[in-house]
């Protein structure tokens, strides 16, 4: 019976040490998180109505990411994704894809213009560091599916400059 009590006491002491180590790891993780630019590399935005009164990222939304959620979670930067579903490889198909992608780019622009004190668009890593140092959130743009680029490489410059 004495060995049972000693075993329970040893287990309790080792569990306490494990919790202390866990707390230390949590503290270190939070310190690292606070020191770096925390980045989500893929944030899908709504197909219609994003950054309008109906779906305002400046307030809490049903979406995965908005400015209040970024603040609460310590998220510093996001890649807002311009996703376009694949369609026919025709002039009409490319035109429809460009229209769809342009609407998403316009929504991202609306958001950064509506909340210039809260978030800004970064076109480079240097921009991101500068925006982060200013206390604002960082928005990057990513494109999933190059379908809106069209049939030739020449259209890449159009989107780069958009």
pLDDT along the chain (162 residues), means of 10: 48 54 87 91 84 85 89 95 94 94 92 96 96 97 91 78 70
Strands 39-44 and 119-121: unpaired
Looking at residue 97, its pLDDT comes to 93
Same domain, 14 and 30: yes
Domain identity same for 43 and 27: no
Report pLDDT for 3. Answer: 53
Check residue 4 and give its pLDDT. 43
What pLDDT, on a 0 to 100 scale, did the predictor assign at position 84?
92
Same-domain pairing of 28 and 51: no
Give how many domains the chain has, as a whole number.
Answer: 2
How far apart CA 67 and CA 60 sit, in angstroms, is 8
Q: Are residues 26 and 44 in the same domain?
A: no
> Quick one: 57 and 103 in the same domain?
yes
HSE-up (13 A, CA, CB side) for residue 154:
2
Residues 31 and 41 reside in one and the same domain: no
The pLDDT value recorded for residue 8 is 47
Strand, helix or coil at 79?
strand
Residue 92: the pLDDT is: 96
Terminal Cα-to-Cα distance of the chain (whole angstroms): 77
Residue 54 is predicted with a pLDDT of 82
What domain range is 89 assigned to? 37-160
Q: Measuring CA to CA, how many Å separate 47 from each of 58, 102, 107, 147?
A: 18, 11, 9, 16
């Amino acid at each position: 019976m004495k060995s049972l009590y000693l075993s329970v006491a040893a287990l309790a002491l080792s569990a306490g040490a494990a919790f202390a180590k866990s707390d230390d790891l949590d503290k270190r993780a939070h310190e690292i998180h606070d020191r770096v630019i925390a980045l989500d590399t893929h944030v899908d935005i709504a197909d219609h109505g994003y950054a309008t009164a109906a779906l305002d990222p400046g307030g809490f939304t049903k979406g995965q990411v908005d400015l209040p959620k970024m603040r609460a979670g310590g998220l510093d930067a996001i890649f807002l994704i311009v996703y376009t579903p694949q369609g026919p490889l025709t002039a009409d198909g490319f035109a429809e894809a460009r229209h769809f992608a342009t609407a998403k780019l316009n929504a991202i622009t609306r958001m950064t213009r509506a909340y210039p004190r809260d978030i800004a668009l970064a076109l480079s890593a240097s921009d991101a560091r500068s925006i982060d140092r200013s206390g604002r959130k960082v928005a990057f743009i990513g494109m999933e599916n190059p379908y809106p680029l069209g049939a030739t490489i020449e259209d890449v410059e159009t989107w780069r400059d958009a």
